[in-house]
Structure 1
């Protein structure tokens, strides 16, 4: 290939995002002694702690689904969402010096961060399910197409939200203090360790406004043949994901020059 050949905009964009992905991987895992193993250990430790607590109190989550698998179907999506919040809000401040390069914009740093977290989320879920199946903890698989669809929508939702937070985090730095306060209650109301069927229906009208709850319910329906997320709403998830993506793109388009000029 001629090094002097003119590259297309798509080739430049691809190389920029690839370079940012490598940089993010080194930043994300290089500072830990456990390195890439931490990507598996983080959800595994969450599952072990919560599964142990609920087993000690004698509580089962869903008939026919082992506790650790049920927990995996909630913890893995939530950790992806949680990481996108923190990575999105710091996307500009963490990469400020890179914007001196004309080819690189804040949009690239956000998509690289979200794509890396999404890849880690999918890989962790797959590897942990294989490990659990190897030790004898498995159930019949659900619907692979449904699982694919819900994760594409989930990616769009988190990417749009990360773009919004990218702008808000730069214009209002104090919002980074609010994110953990929002994240903690979401952990308890998003279905991480309960099924919506176990909640009295009079509370559904409040809980079902949360798109993350629909993601987790439909993810479990896709993972486990015996799980029926009958109270989840796929159309609502489509609407909220596309709406958040549109909001993120419009917010970024309106303020991206301010993000670059704020160096």
Structure 2
């Protein structure tokens, strides 16, 4: 496809979408599917096409996390945790957490970075949200597959104890991150100064979500408060579905995450529908 080989600016990209859509009559679903696919190509090119370090950093970030915390944990407590080699333990929880964090933050920035496209009626803010979620999921899945292959080659056991439930929980987490990202996008559209605060808030979440240590190692007196965090539930559930002998901390529930996600999506989509014209017509975000 010549489209993949050309470096389209935003206005040319939108004109191409418009031209393709008027060549023959198509349903609204077909038009939206084509727009989302074109947005995914544009997003992937923006991430990797012009900056080689973008592709490299995508792989280097989790590797750096793994190396730093594996060395620190080995010095402090030994090489295993919950009867699992510590690098495997961290990777199983870290990979989905980074996926959810990156998805939410990328959606938060979507309005500002795609504003030039909203002058064309085929492209809506929701399309850019969906495209970014799909691109981030594909990137994270690719990076995780590379790391799993590397770990398996090195001799670690990377089998998944309950693959169907693992995929279901990962999908639930992506939906949660999608709803969270939409809410953050709406909030920062109204109050752009909160973006830095929100980014900083994900740093303590990294530690209190059980990414680096089992949730049972966290302060038990604070556990009722920590269990309000859906990330903690997701990480614990994913570990229990991958590691055969891992037991989640008491109180972890997939029902809680499911309910939280449904409510979050209801708020996000309802707020988006109420403010969709305002999102396009103003320059905030």
Instruction: Give the TM-score range, shorter chain.
Output: over 0.9
1:168 alignment partner in structure 2: 187
Gap change, CA 1:261 and 1:200, over 3 Å in 2: closer
Out of 204, 222, 241, which is 2:261 matched to?
Answer: 241
Equivalent residue number for residue 6 of structure 2? none
Report SS of the residue matched to 1:100.
coil
Query: Which position in structure 1 is the counterpart of 2:62?
Result: 43
Give a deviation string over 1:198-240, Cα, whole Å, max 9, x none.
2353322111100000111111112211222253211111111
> Which moves more between the two structures, 25-34 or 61-70?
25-34
Alpha-carbon distance between aligned partners in 2 of 1:140 and 1:151, rounded to the nearest angstrom: 16
Distance of 1:168 and 1:158 partners within structure 2: 15
Q: Name the counterpart of 1:64.
A: 83
What pairs with 1:142-221 in structure 2 (closer than 5 Å)? 142-221=161-240
State whether residues 208 and 218 of structure 2, in contact with CA within 8 Å, keep that contact through their aligned partners in structure 1. Answer: no
- Any unmatched runs of 5+ in structure 1? none
Give 5+ residue unaligned stretches, structure 2.
1-21
The structural deviation recorded for 1:46 is 0.9
Secondary structure of 1:191's match?
A: coil
Residue 126 of structure 1, aligned match among 117, 142, 145: 145
* SS of residue matched to 2:42: helix
Asked if the contact 1:217–1:229 (Cα under 8 Å) also holds between the matched residues in 2, the reply is: yes
More divergent stretch after superposition (10-19 vs 132-141): 132-141
Which stretch shifts more, 125-134 or 213-222? 125-134
**When the two structures are superposed, what TM-score results if normalisation uses the length of structure 1?**
0.93
Matched, 1:32 2:80: no
The 8 Å contact of residues 61 and 194 in structure 1, kept in 2 or not, is answered as no
Counterpart residue number, 1:106: 125
Residue among 73, 80, 99 paired with 1:80: 99
Measure the CA separation in 2 of the matches of 1:23 and 1:159: 19
Q: Give, in angstroms, the shift of residue 248 of structure 1.
A: 1.1
Q: Could you say which residue in structure 1 is the equivalent of 2:135?
A: 116
For each residue in 1:135-160, what CA deviation from the matched residue of structure 2 results, as whole angstroms up to 9, or x when unmatched?
10115421011111111111111111
Partner residue of 1:97?
A: 116
- The 3 A distance-change label for structure 1 pair 40 and 65 is same
- For this pair of structures, how many residues does the alignment match? 261
Classify 1:253/1:52 alpha carbon distance in 2 versus 1 (closer, same or farther; 3 Å): same
Structure 1 SS opposite 2:118? helix
Name the structure 2 match of 1:260: 280
What secondary structure sits across from 1:240 in the alignment? helix
Q: How far did 1:58 drift?
A: 3.3
CA contact (8 A) 2:100 2:174 kept: no
CA distance in 1, matches of 2:94, 2:164: 21
CA distance in 1, matches of 2:50, 2:65: 21
Q: Deviations over 1:58-81 (max 9, x none)?
A: 345523211111111222122122
User: What CA distance in whole angstroms lies between the structure 2 residues aligned with 1:91 and 1:114?
Assistant: 10
